[in-house]
Amino acid sequence: MLKINDLHVSVENTAILKGVNLEVKAGEVHAIMGLNGAGKSTLANTIAGRDDYTVTSGTVDFFGKNIFDLEPHERVGEGLFLGFQYPVEIPGVSNLNFLRTALNSIRKYRGQDDMSAADFMKLIRAKADQLGMAPDMLKRFVNVGFSGGEKKRNEMVQMAVLDPKFAILDETDSGLDIDALKTVAAGINAQRRDDTAILLITHYQRLLNYVQPDVVHVMIGGKIVKSGGKELAAELEEKGYAEVA
Amino acid sequence: MTKQLIEAYASQAESLHGILAGMDDVRTSAMSSFLEQGFPGTKNEEWRYSDMRAFHKKHFELVSGKSGIAIPEPLGDYCARFVFINGRYDEESSDIGQVWKDISIRPLANHFMANESRVDELIKGSDSVSLLNTALMRDGLVLSIPSNVGIGRPIEILHVMDGSDNAAAHVRHVIELGEGSSVSIIERFVGDDSAYWTNSVLQARITENAKLRHIRVQEEGANALHTAKAYVNLGGGSEYICTNVALGGAMSRFDANVRILMDGAQATVNGVALAATGQSHDMHTHVSHLSGNAVSEQVFRTIADSRGTTSFQGKVTVAEDAQRTLANQSFKALIFDKTAQANAKPELEILADDVKCSHGATVGQLDDKAIFYLTSRGIDPETARQMLVSAFVAEALEKVDFDDVKTSLMGRIASWMLERNADKGTGG
Ligand SMILES: Nc1ncnc2c1ncn2[C@@H]1O[C@H](COP(=O)(O)OP(=O)(O)OP(=O)(O)O)[C@@H](O)[C@H]1O
Ligand SMILES: [Mg+2]
């Protein structure tokens, strides 16, 4: 599904990613853990196509295509989703309008007709309900005035509605209370299928108790320095990065 | 001004003598005041953002006749539509509907004919373009809404120009609202590609508890010059709600001059201006609180593309006994690059002590992070920009109460954005 080969990325002429290798197959859940500033978000944003990150070498293959040949919105059409560490506030654009435009843009990319307003409302109400988002928040401007936890929940509602094949969730578990964490974990598990894959970026073992990863990677200094099973996360929590990696 | 220009304008005013009853003396005096000051130069603070160079170079004259230019579709459902072609009322393309049963509609000429003392009620103005409008006006509408009559759908007044490069139209509309009445006016300006000049003045008297909604849509031809003024006087508990949308012409300027004469009135003057390459739109407001317990609101949103300019000068004055006044002003501008310009000059002059006033002015660019967020959800960059621009202007269009009209306006803004993207050929 996604294959990263020796990826080097710099920001403003500073090398951040220094040779990342990673392969995620359909049906798998991978977790990346690592110190602050290790380059985890840089990796996520590079895959999504943020233009202030410069790819200096390496390849990312997404469903057999060179991902860098695709515009950011085209990557989404191919099935990508990025849950942001810091979701953006967009005054004046309602959540509903935003998601409906997004969904229909993706459908258009795939040669499908627009979803009718009635079907869309049914879909989004169901997903918001599953993820414990109050219906009136759908009418509010995107993330404006949302609490940290509400923003993360909103990211999950977006993922559920857009139903991506490959989702990268950048610290979606940070800032969530215990109940919200369980709801979000349930949302992630619902997205976990034979034909989908998920890449979790997290600092905490506690999410991985609810969403059991197939593989755990440790990123330090712009590289994946160690990979293992879910027990690696527990080991990191116990001993810290210095000793494990 | 050159001697040639002076003589040309003076003889224009003279040629109009006898056309509107009782107006000859008014014309003569307005013309001599105009000739004393001429067109404003760049050193005139009130006009520094309006590019008036063309007026110093050539003589604009009244034209007659029409060449059969296509009349555009209305902006939305209307109860009556009055069309002015090259500054003259055109009966053939107008549709007066049934509204004449409820309100009085007269051409300017008949208004004075019925009672010459009405000339005294004409606002002569003191700036050069108002004075010229007074000296050279030939046509316009006089609408009187009787007390307690409410007109639901808007009345569209469409101004069409298909003149030539030195054609001018000086139209004057007079609106009078009886106590407790209400009406909505859409003033719209369109035209061909010639470098003509539209100079329009609308004066409105809104008496006690009456309500005037005033929507202006300036979509003149690409080379046109547009100057316009609204003089509005508000009685007790009355309401004026103006939304000015400027997107056409090479240079446009709109002045709203609103006076709150009695307690408890509400004045809203909002505006949207979109300036493409080489265009400039200038908006001026002067809301004068002469009486208390009144509220004034101003929301302006402007966007300038490469080498486009938008300007806003908003003045609020609160007289000594206009206590418990509430006045808010918000100006936000987007500029698309370094060559685009946005000027803002708020001005507050407050003599009363029990007053709440606020004003804010910001100039910024479209938020790259927001664009990326939208595209990262599958939305293409053109649509993402369009969504952000629509969101940006929305607050200034909030008072357009007619959904179909609002949809038409939003559609124009969306196509303006599409043209910007196409011009750049970047696809984003
Ligand atoms: N736009 C940018 N401009 C300058 N430096 C940047 C930019 N983005 C990232 N960096 C730098 O790149 C490095 C990696 O940042 P990144 O956000 O990828 O870390 P992270 O692993 O996600 O950290 P955290 O766990 O704190 O979220 C940091 O040193 C950061 O300061
Ligand atoms: Mg990060």
CA distance A243 to B241: 69
Tokens of B132: 């010229």
Nearest to B295 by CA among B269, B271, B328: B328
pLDDT interval class at A42 (50, 70, 90) = very high
Residues B373 and B237 reside in one and the same domain:
no
Residues B256 and B371 reside in one and the same domain:
no
CB pair distance less than 8 Å for B391 and A91:
yes
- Quickly list DSSP for B134-203: HHH--B-EEEEEPTT-B--SPEEEEEEE---TTEEEEEEEEEEE-TT-EEEEEEEEEE-SS--EEEEEEE
Domain end position, chosen among B211, B238, B262: B262
The neighbouring-strand residues paired with B384 are none
Domain total of chain B: 2
Residue B191 lies in a domain: yes
pLDDT beyond 60 at B422: yes
pLDDT beyond 90 at B20: no
pLDDT beyond 90 at B67: no
Q: If you average pLDDT over every residue of chain B, what do you get?
A: 94
pLDDT interval class at B38 (50, 70, 90) = very high
In terms of pLDDT, which residue wins out, A245 or B271? B271
Residues B256 and B372 reside in one and the same domain:
no
The position carrying tokens 């501008």 is B333
Average pLDDT over residues B218-238: 97
SS3 assignment, position B99: helix
Residues B102 and B227 reside in one and the same domain:
yes
Question: Per-residue pLDDT tens for B81-93?
Answer: 999 999 999 999 9
Question: Per-residue pLDDT tens for A228-237?
Answer: 999 999 999 8
The 8-class DSSP code of residue B98 comes to T
Radius of gyration of chain A (CA): 18
Domain end position, chosen among B212, B246, B262: B262
Residue range of the domain that includes B169: 3-262
pLDDT beyond 70 at B425: no
Predicted pLDDT at A241: 87
pLDDT beyond 60 at B428: no
Predicted pLDDT at B379: 98
Minimal C-alpha gap between A44 and chain B (Å): 11
Percent of chain B with pLDDT over 90: 87
The 8-class DSSP code of residue B320 comes to T
Under a CB-based contact definition with an 8 Å cutoff, are residues B167 and B161 in contact? yes
Predicted pLDDT at B326: 98
Question: Per-residue pLDDT tens for B247-304?
Answer: 999 999 999 999 999 999 999 999 999 999 999 999 999 999 999 999 999 999 999 9
Residues B377 and B256 reside in one and the same domain:
no
Residue B344 lies in a domain: no
CA of B220 to the centre of ligand 1 (A): 50
CA of A170 to the centre of ligand 2 (A): 7
- Nearest C-alpha in A relative to B390: A92
Q: Using a CB-CB distance cutoff of 8 angstroms, which residues of chain A are in contact with residue B373?
A: 84, 87-88, 90, 142
Domain end position, chosen among B244, B262, B280: B262
Residue B425 lies in a domain: yes
Is the beta carbon of A222 within 6 A of some atom in ligand 1? no
Q: Which residues contact A231 (CB under 8 A, 6 or more apart)?
A: none
Residues B254 and B376 reside in one and the same domain:
no
SS3 assignment, position A85: coil
Q: Which of B122-131, B265-274, B418-427 has the lowest mean pLDDT?
A: B418-427
pLDDT beyond 70 at B426: no
CA of B123 to the centre of ligand 1 (A): 64
Residues B193 and B69 reside in one and the same domain:
yes
Residue B126 lies in a domain: yes
Question: Per-residue pLDDT tens for A73-109?
Answer: 999 999 999 999 999 999 999 999 999 999 999 999 9
Residues B247 and B382 reside in one and the same domain:
no
pLDDT interval class at B239 (50, 70, 90) = very high
Q: Which residues contact A62 (CB under 8 A, 6 or more apart)?
A: A1, A2, A47, A70, A75, A78, A80, A166
Percent of chain B with pLDDT over 70: 99
Measured from the Cβ of residue B136, the count of other Cβ atoms closer than 10 Å reads 25
Residue B287 lies in a domain: no
Residues B403 and B255 reside in one and the same domain:
no
Residues B242 and B390 reside in one and the same domain:
no
* B70 contacts chain A (CB < 8 A): no
Predicted pLDDT at B21: 82
